[in-house]
Chain A
């Protein structure tokens, strides 16, 4: 073991989290846009609101009827007591019925609207430019599609109820005041007290809740990190230290959760005591009135019943207020996404590339992800039908940009790109996607069976799929899998090797049968046997197609009809392998050094390191 000096403090941390702000302020613009999503469901919304109003009305009426019943009982009017009871029964029935209808309609509506908004976002992501997608982490987008959308759902779920609560509050106030103005006013004095207490409490509680949320997500992120890296943790014997780091987080979380719980609980006695005070007012003041014969005892009972119900809507409404703030913050983030402009879209009169020749042409193309710093300078390139062009050059030379532009993933800054003789900006995106097939460097497979992955969005038959798999030498290994073509692929195809994933993505491209194929050859190291299969498969893929290949393997490069050598965004030289070797330019230099690397000789430092042989 090396004898080294030790630091005083460890360089160690566990997990990290960074939460979005959860509380927003009311924003009319955002509220209006929400309403926009409700518009198609206007009738349902109205019906739900009507039902909620009716049920709230019935709810208010019930204690009143109870009080009336008591009044008639006291005065011995049995006949009218029974009549009131019939009314009570009807009101209670109506209350249950309309409550059901209102909740049923509004909950379903909320769900529906949520799915509409989620779909709008998702659909938008299919259209926004890749430059936006490149900059945005998938985890972040998912947080918006899920977390923020759920926060909205919570709001919509309770929104209709909030209208009911407001009506209830108003109704109770009216009933109390109309039953006995003086006693009503006196009882209602506790209401401002409650509002004031809550107003003081709110900012503290918010801070406390936010802290609890942050502590919890920080603890969870530490756990997740340790689980994902568990092999490294055990390899490096970090168990004890990570446990200590985690314990600190768990302790902090424990404290924060308890503080938040305290904040919630502290409001309980406040509401209770205020209720007690209000009832005491009824007892003392109302009681005196009853004593003096100025008030019926039924009124006193009515008041006692109402005061007990009084605080529930207040509590619910203030909860609703917090939920609304959360929804505002979420809505802000949701609309931020929906508002990302779609920069690459079909023109109204976009062309369909049906019988156009399979050609690609770059005319004086200049392009940069940041227009101030161009990656490609004045590129001119013509790819003829059924020609295989290999793009080679060091990292950062612009190879990837060329193929991305051909598929119009980005827009050129100057010049134009023509596919089949049409400017890509005039071609419909759908038609462009069907004409140009693409195989990416890192094969991306979806959850589903192998067959589904090869078929993707075509309607190819099983026979066609097997035929394609055979053509790219994937059939044998697929058949060795437990369920053949029906074998489900695990997370991104983790249950098959990298090379095998590559072969499946080749089969997918073959089934799609594009006239023009763009291929970004994998740089990863693949075992020699699969590598052989890949080389064979490439030849099948290239056959009869116009191809542009970012090539890393010498075998692939040599097989191309033409090699285009790029450096710093410019075409340096082009021609066949033999011609370029004779010219003695960058290509021949790279080629010789790449070849040499295997034989363990001194390697020239120039050029792309990636260019070396890989098998």
Chain B
């Protein structure tokens, strides 16, 4: 397990529960994880049974072939010796053998095809099920979970790990099955005919299987290690490209190439290690197999020479050997697949097994707002049970049409407070009510519909502007969207774009500035027309002039709603009906702008600080350039 470093964001560090990293294959966990994957394949018993049946059929057809070859050789050879037999009958027998050979290969081919297709089908079905479950689960897991786990890690789990787990059905389970069937059938045939020769022939199997199996497992382990090293290399390259201006500005080319080379050589060394590992096992396999072959030819050849064995029997043994060679080689792949499925499966199930901490109460009712009064009653909150208190004893009430402003230094708990209202986290003490009803007693869906939260960091999706603005209500009519965009003062900009609301944004579309992104996010928050609006520092990147216009428009649009505004810039919230100042999770001052200024506390100090860079400071030329502070 990796040790996660406590970060500046309280949310991410405190009470962090740790998640498994990719770099391990836990041999002890193997049976349990594989069992779960097989259990999922067993949900399709019919398809799986059919695939297995086809595998049996193809194995049997495979085994018939060496016998048929042997028979044909004997037919040709023996009849030559017993020259008395009618040539016609001998020819006929050869034709029959040839027909049987074609039939056997036909059956083998068809059966292998069907078993391969249906094995993969079940495997894809398992993948499909896992994919949907994974997606649904991520949507259910609360913010607290998403704070603790990196989004890139989740994406890896949902893409690569899920594939790794799924592939075990075909690449592990079905392959083991066909290997065992072939080994048992062929082994039985070989031992039955001549047990000494059978033993010689099978001698290579345990040696090769042991070496290849171990290699398959080790390859997985080294592969993970290699991936880790490659990730370092990728990061080095990616950061270099993203920070290319810094690199250029500091003439850092040589330095960056040095970083690249270091990461590169590490990865390369490991990659060489993998090559050696693989080839060593392959060499053992080849030598042991050919030793068995030589043994069979020697033992069988002498018997044939002595006349105690027919040449056809010897040929059939050679046929069995080449039949076994392929599947035994695949042992490495099976072990690799099993090891991959174990580490990957564990990482997928780890997420699927989590129980969402925030769900509807058993008797939850849809919220029936009468007025829309939001109240905090002695609310306490900590990210981890018993952890550092992020909010303590918060009390306030916001009535419809009123605005509450929240100010405080970074880390004082402002954003946390905002996130408590739509229940992205649950309070640890006290309660939050809407029209007197505890929000934990209403359904999440109805609560979140009623509460609109515009976050500080505007996340926009890689689609059109219209899709983004209408995100919360995809059925909203054109007018509603335009209206919302006008409130957020972004309509004029959108209207000026070549495809207006159909313009794509993001990677393959137009780029928006930080302020424009925030305005988009405000428009998005306005579209569904929630009963409570919360703005979490959501105008920080908008210039002051535009911000005031947005604020005025919003004031009109949300005139009948309870509004919460969190901001650094006091001008954003000085008109609020009440302003609370948070410090270390506590309300240290409250009142309206005038009262707070008069009080001469922190608010007044902040106000003074923010005004100082203005007119008052212009005359103040006492800090000339160059003086160390």
B230 → chain A, closest Cβ, in Å? Answer: 9
Q: Check A297–B73 contact: CB distance below 8 A.
A: yes
Interface-central residue, B142, B240, B626, by most chain A CB under 10 Å: B626
Q: Check A444–B243 contact: CB distance below 8 A.
A: yes
Q: Check A111–B471 contact: CB distance below 8 A.
A: no
Q: Check B477–A543 contact: CB distance below 8 A.
A: no
The contact string, 1 if C-beta is below 8 Å from chain B, for chain A 439-457, is: 0100010110000000011
The contact string, 1 if C-beta is below 8 Å from chain A, for chain B 546-565, is: 10100000000000000000
Name the 6 nearest CB pairs between A and B, nearest first: A433-B251, A276-B105, A269-B109, A272-B109, A10-B474, A438-B249
A383 beta carbon closer than 8 Å to chain B: no
Chain B residues, CB < 8 A from A293: 80
**Selected contact of B275 from candidates A111, A219, A264, A284, CB within 8 Å:** A111
Q: Check A254–B268 contact: CB distance below 8 A.
A: no
Taking A235-B422, A433-B252 as known contacts, 15 extra A-B pairs with beta carbons closer than 8 A to each other, sorted by chain A number, are A99-B286, A111-B272, A119-B264, A123-B257, A126-B256, A130-B245, A230-B151, A239-B140, A254-B128, A277-B105, A495-B9, A497-B410, A543-B627, A595-B615, A603-B545
Q: Which residue of B lies closest to A270 (CB)?
A: B109
Q: Check A286–B76 contact: CB distance below 8 A.
A: yes
Chain B residues, CB < 8 A from A305: 318, 322
**Selected contact of B87 from candidates A74, A291, A483, CB within 8 Å:** A291
24 contacts between A and B (CB under 8 A): A11-B467, A16-B462, A16-B463, A69-B301, A74-B305, A78-B302, A107-B279, A111-B271, A138-B238, A138-B241, A232-B459, A234-B448, A236-B528, A254-B124, A258-B120, A262-B117, A291-B76, A297-B76, A304-B319, A433-B248, A482-B6, A495-B7, A595-B615, A613-B614
B211 → chain A, closest Cβ, in Å? Answer: 13
Q: Which residue of B lies closest to A274 (CB)?
A: B105
A496 beta carbon closer than 8 Å to chain B: yes
B3 → chain A, closest Cβ, in Å? Answer: 11
Q: Check A555–B613 contact: CB distance below 8 A.
A: yes
For the complex, count residues of A whose C-beta is within 8 A of B: 194
Q: Which residue of A lies closest to B155 (CB)?
A: A224
Chain B residues, CB < 8 A from A228: 151, 459
B550 → chain A, closest Cβ, in Å? Answer: 12
B514 beta carbon closer than 8 Å to chain A: yes
A415 → chain B, closest Cβ, in Å? Answer: 22
- Near A by CB (< 8 A), chain B positions 270-294 give 271-272, 275-276, 279, 282-283, 286-287, 290-291, 293-294
Q: Which residue of A lies closest to B618 (CB)?
A: A558
Q: Check A457–B627 contact: CB distance below 8 A.
A: no
**Selected contact of A257 from candidates B124, B306, B311, CB within 8 Å:** B124
Chain B residues, CB < 8 A from A15: 462
Chain B residues, CB < 8 A from A78: 302, 305
Q: Check A612–B568 contact: CB distance below 8 A.
A: no
**Selected contact of A612 from candidates B449, B545, B606, B609, CB within 8 Å:** B545
A387 → chain B, closest Cβ, in Å? Answer: 10
A539 beta carbon closer than 8 Å to chain B: yes
Measured CA separation A526–B606 after assembly (Å): 13
Q: Check B136–A243 contact: CB distance below 8 A.
A: yes
Interface-central residue, A224, A436, A438, by most chain B CB under 10 Å: A224
Measured CA separation A70–B302 after assembly (Å): 10
Stretch at the interface among B19-27, B92-100, B391-399: B92-100
Chain B residues, CB < 8 A from A73: 297, 300-302, 304-305, 311, 314
A418 beta carbon closer than 8 Å to chain B: no
Q: Check A13–B139 contact: CB distance below 8 A.
A: no
**Selected contact of A436 from candidates B8, B249, B301, B546, CB within 8 Å:** B249
The contact string, 1 if C-beta is below 8 Å from chain A, for chain B 1-31, is: 0000111110010000000000000000000
B225 beta carbon closer than 8 Å to chain A: no
Chain A residues, CB < 8 A from B135: 223, 226, 243, 246, 250
Chain A residues, CB < 8 A from B615: 595
Chain A residues, CB < 8 A from B319: 304, 308
B235 beta carbon closer than 8 Å to chain A: yes
Q: Which residue of A lies closest to B160 (CB)?
A: A220
B610 beta carbon closer than 8 Å to chain A: yes
Measured CA separation A481–B311 after assembly (Å): 81
The contact string, 1 if C-beta is below 8 Å from chain A, for chain B 125-146, is: 1011001101110111011001
Measured CA separation A436–B8 after assembly (Å): 32
The contact string, 1 if C-beta is below 8 Å from chain B, for chain A 79-94, is: 0011001001100110
Interface-central residue, B112, B304, B424, B477, by most chain A CB under 10 Å: B304
Stretch at the interface among A29-37, A174-182, A527-535: A527-535
Q: Check A220–B305 contact: CB distance below 8 A.
A: no
Interface-central residue, B264, B271, B625, by most chain A CB under 10 Å: B625
A608 → chain B, closest Cβ, in Å? Answer: 8
Stretch at the interface among A42-50, A141-149, A199-207, A324-332: A141-149
Q: Check A597–B627 contact: CB distance below 8 A.
A: no
Chain B residues, CB < 8 A from A481: 8
Measured CA separation A117–B355 after assembly (Å): 47
Stretch at the interface among A1-9, A164-172, A355-363, A367-375: A1-9
A414 beta carbon closer than 8 Å to chain B: no
Chain B residues, CB < 8 A from A615: 568-569, 609-610, 613
Known contacts A146-B234, A251-B128, A280-B102; is-contact A104 B448 (Cβ 8 Å)? no
Chain B residues, CB < 8 A from A99: 282-283, 286
Q: Which residue of B lies closest to A433 (CB)?
A: B251
**Selected contact of B546 from candidates A270, A471, A473, A609, CB within 8 Å:** A609
Q: Check B290–A81 contact: CB distance below 8 A.
A: no
Measured CA separation A612–B463 after assembly (Å): 32
Q: Check B257–A126 contact: CB distance below 8 A.
A: yes
B471 → chain A, closest Cβ, in Å? Answer: 5
A321 beta carbon closer than 8 Å to chain B: no
Chain B residues, CB < 8 A from A127: 253
Known contacts A126-B256, A226-B135, A250-B131; is-contact A598 B470 (Cβ 8 Å)? no
B142 → chain A, closest Cβ, in Å? Answer: 8
Q: Check A536–B629 contact: CB distance below 8 A.
A: yes
Q: Check A108–B272 contact: CB distance below 8 A.
A: yes
Measured CA separation A219–B131 after assembly (Å): 10
Measured CA separation A224–B279 after assembly (Å): 37
Interface-central residue, A10, A280, A305, by most chain B CB under 10 Å: A280
Q: Check A119–B260 contact: CB distance below 8 A.
A: yes
Chain B residues, CB < 8 A from A518: 249
Known contacts A107-B275, A239-B139, A540-B628; is-contact A597 B287 (Cβ 8 Å)? no
Measured CA separation A396–B318 after assembly (Å): 81
Chain A residues, CB < 8 A from B102: 273, 276-277, 280
**Selected contact of B609 from candidates A93, A234, A446, A532, CB within 8 Å:** A532
Q: Which residue of B lies closest to A220 (CB)?
A: B159
Known contacts A130-B245, A251-B128, A290-B76; is-contact A235 B113 (Cβ 8 Å)? no
Known contacts A231-B143, A612-B545; is-contact A7 B476 (Cβ 8 Å)? yes
Q: Check B625–A542 contact: CB distance below 8 A.
A: yes
B376 beta carbon closer than 8 Å to chain A: no
Chain A residues, CB < 8 A from B448: 234-237
Known contacts A235-B422, A269-B112, A286-B76; is-contact A69 B139 (Cβ 8 Å)? no
Interface-central residue, A100, A230, A236, by most chain B CB under 10 Å: A236
Chain B residues, CB < 8 A from A173: none
